[in-house]
């Protein structure tokens, strides 16, 4: 009988701690603080933007990036808590070098939706500096300058910044991170771009995928290192003595060093895309559901802790996960169509610790913590709960 009483007392104490954790500022960190998600739409079978919004809100994510200025998305996201980054397609960058065209573009695609839709960033093109399109590359900064001038003219520059997402292929060297440098042929183009970012206080965005490093050299690249798993094969930068236990942080710091090498130390580096494919072709080594689950779960746990990189540990790293949905019309290898956390019908492509529930036309999610963590022992919310409880106990002691 005594043991049952003790059990009941323990349950009451646990419930009290849970209520405290979930209701206080001390408790669980919010995903939306540093984590965003890319909402691509290269598919013919996706849910409506309204349904996508329900899904994103259920994930407690408050930052989203889209690859166009789809008016249906901009309208659907009105009066929500979502901060939205919109994109100027590569095909129209040249025409926006004209100040009048840039002003018209902003007046058509941005101004009508402000402030109900929280547009906070404009990505001008995507991976422009690795397209080998010389005209596009040379037109990028003039288009950014013209768009920024339009924002100033419309009094929108204080709430919306302008940048572009860059492939890691802009780097000539990334190892060790302290030797990070840009390709010499890109330096003349990157100099005015960095000057623009520095002047407007905008971030340098990178699309960083440790998956590709592992796929290309699985013998020498440790899988645990790229998946954020505990490992003994991390690396220590011999010039800074900084220790890296995962490749993504090393990639980010390599870009930071490359920027500093160009004379700009105050520009923040953010990850505009990262993720892991759950399926691939026969030669796409590592593209498996298990690896995708582990990479994204570990990344989410890091983001919950508001971590910074070894070079800038006190500056939380903003990361946008790629992607919300699998997109069946994307060209290229099988992996390109299998980066999504979710299938188009709203069911999980794989479980990172959240359980999908569908009802009628709506899509909703419930954390597996509320289901007794029965989905999987290592589920995301179970780990978060454990971390929070441990933190609480340390504080009490």
**Among all residues, which ones are annotated catalytic?**
127, 273
In a 10 Å sphere around its CB, with 0-12 CB exposed, 13-18 middle and 19+ buried, how is residue 328 labelled? middle
Identify the three-state secondary structure at position 17: helix
Q: Identify how many contiguous H helices and E strands the chain contains and give both numbers.
A: 11, 14
Cα 69 to the chain's mean position, in Å? 19
- Residue count of the chain: 397
Structure tokens at 137: 């590359």
Cα 142 to the chain's mean position, in Å? 27
What is the C-alpha separation between 56 and 173, in angstroms, rounded? 36
> How many CB atoms within 10 Å of residue 40?
22
State whether the Cα torsion 318-319-325-331 is positive or negative: positive
- Strands 181-182, 204-207: parallel, antiparallel or unpaired by DSSP? unpaired
What is the C-alpha separation between 5 and 221, in angstroms, rounded? 53
């Amino acid at each position: 009988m005594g043991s049952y009483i003790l059990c009941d007392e323990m349950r009451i104490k646990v419930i009290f701690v849970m209520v405290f954790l979930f209701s206080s500022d001390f408790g669980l960190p919010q995903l939306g603080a540093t984590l965003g998600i890319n909402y691509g739409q290269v598919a013919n079978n996706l849910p409506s933007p309204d349904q996508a919004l329900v899904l994103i809100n259920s994930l407690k994510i408050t930052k989203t990036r889209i690859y166009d200025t789809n008016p249906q998305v901009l309208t659907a996201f009105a009066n929500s808590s979502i901060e939205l980054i919109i994109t100027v397609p590569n095909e129209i960058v040249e025409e926006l070098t004209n100040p009048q065209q840039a002003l018209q573009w902003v007046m058509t695609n941005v101004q009508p939706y402000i402030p109900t839709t929280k547009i906070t960033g404009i990505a001008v093109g995507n991976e422009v500096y690795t397209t080998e399109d010389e005209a596009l590359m040379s037109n990028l900064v003039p288009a950014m300058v013209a768009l920024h001038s339009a924002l100033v003219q419309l009094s929108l520059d204080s709430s919306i910044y302008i940048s572009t997402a860059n492939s890691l292929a802009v780097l000539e060297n990334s190892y060790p991170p302290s030797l990070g440098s840009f390709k010499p042929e890109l330096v003349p183009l990157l100099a005015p771009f960095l000057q623009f970012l520095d002047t407007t206080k905008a971030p340098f965005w990178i699309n960083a995928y440790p998956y590709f490093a592992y796929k290309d050299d699985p013998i020498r690249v440790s899988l645990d290192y790229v998946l954020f798993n505990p490992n003994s094969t991390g690396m220590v930068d011999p010039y800074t003595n900084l220790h890296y236990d995962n490749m993504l942080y090393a990639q980010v710091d390599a870009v930071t060093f490359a920027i500093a090498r160009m004379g700009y130390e105050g520009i923040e580096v953010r990850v505009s895309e990262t993720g892991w494919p759950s399926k691939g072709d026969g030669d796409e080594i590592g593209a498996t559901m298990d690896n995708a689950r582990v990479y994204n779960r570990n990344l989410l746990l890091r983001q919950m802790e508001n971590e910074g990189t070894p070079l800038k540990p006190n500056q939380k790293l903003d990361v946008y996960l790629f992607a919300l949905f699998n997109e069946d019309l994307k060209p290229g290898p099988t992996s390109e169509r299998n980066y999504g956390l979710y299938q188009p019908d709203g069911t999980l492509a794989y479980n990172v610790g959240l359980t999908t529930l569908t009802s009628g036309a709506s899509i909703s999610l419930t954390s597996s913590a509320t289901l007794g963590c029965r989905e999987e022992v290592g589920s995301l919310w179970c780990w978060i709960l454990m971390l929070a409880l441990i933190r609480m106990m340390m504080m009490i002691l």
